[in-house]
Amino acid sequence: MSNGYPPSNKSFRDLTVYKKAFALAMEIFEVSKQFPKEEKYSLTDQIRRASRAVCSCIAEAYRKRNYQAYFVSKSSDADMENSETQVWLDFSRACTYISEEIYKDLILKSEEVGRMLNHMVENPEKYLRQKEKAGVMC
């Protein structure tokens, strides 16, 4: 991965954006364990689902990178889920379920993931499978 983009024989798990999104989702999972019981089926569930959905959308986009429109659509979906995660972080902070310090840390990590996803949406050609000289897809 010398150019920062995985070769076609690599996995979505090798993408830096996936690794960062997965780590963030796991961190949110750990932090949300401390949320009140009455939030179990609302805020706790929503923030966990949204943060995990970022990862699943990245995986789907990677698997469909033969098709630029689909790749961009799924990458955009990942960005949307990342934005939703930020909204739930806002509520978590406003309800004082997390400290300002934890909030800022998680938001900064989410914003970094967002920038990376935005790069994927705006530069899909850097992530799409390239045709080999013989015209066969990698």
Q: Which domains does the chain have, with CATH numbers?
A: 12-125 (1.20.1440.60)
φ and ψ of 5, to 5 deg:
-115, 130
- Tell me, what's the pLDDT at 131? 58
- Tell me, what's the pLDDT at 4? 52
Q: pLDDT digit string (tens) for 91-106?
A: 999 999 999 999 999 9
Q: What is the mean pLDDT of residues 38-67?
A: 96
Q: Show the tokens assigned to 66.
A: 């033969």
Burial class (CB in 10 A: 0-12, 13-18, 19+), 91: middle
Query: What 3-state class would DSSP assign to 91?
Result: helix
Give the predicted TM-score (pTM) of the model: 0.87
